[in-house]
Amino acid sequence: MSSRDAIRMSDAEVAAFLAEPRTLNVATVGPDGSIHLVAMWYLMQGASPVFTTYRKSQKVANLRRDPRLSALVEAGDDYGNLRGVELIGRAELIEDPGEVLTLVRDIAVHYGRRGAGQDPARAAAKRVGVRLIPQRVISWDHAKIGALQH
């Protein structure tokens, strides 16, 4: 077994890691081929992270032109406890106003007090949802390195 395989998270570990209120770093492809990278709050729907963003945002314009989407969620403050999940796939835009409103509310609840402050109906009126349909998942948990050395 390679050391890469040894630090990979199990499916259950990936699901538990992504279920926590973390930040999803989202990358889309800009019109000139450059990467547009932004941080978003999200929640999981099955194996897919879902977030909302302004309908007229650069990431939505990019996704309408090219639905490829990559995202990274990471945690840890030193090498020995770095953990992360990279999701590579395609975006599905959610434009139904009722669904977007539900997402705005659910994401605010997921992040607790940090998600409070904005009227959900007003926020949802200007937003769309984005669902990342993963085609590839890459994970790592450096805490597992210690187990390899013993």
Which CATH number characterizes residue 19's domain? Answer: 2.30.110.10
Are residues 18 and 44 in contact, defined by beta-carbon separation less than 8 angstroms?
yes
- Strand-by-strand arrangement of the 127-141 sheet: 35-40, 24-29, 68-75, 83-94, 127-141, 48-54, 43-45
Spell out the per-residue pLDDT of the chain, length 150, in tens. Answer: 677 778 999 999 999 999 999 999 999 999 999 999 999 999 999 999 999 999 999 999 999 999 999 999 999 999 888 999 999 999 999 999 999 999 999 998 899 866 556 778 888 889 999 999 999 999 999 988 875 554
Are residues 1 and 147 in contact, defined by beta-carbon separation less than 8 angstroms?
no
Domain limits at 134?
A: 3-149
Domain total in the chain = 1
> In whole angstroms, how far apart are CA 139 and each of 65, 89, 129, 148?
28, 15, 25, 17
Structure tokens at 8: 């990979």
This prediction has a pTM of: 0.91
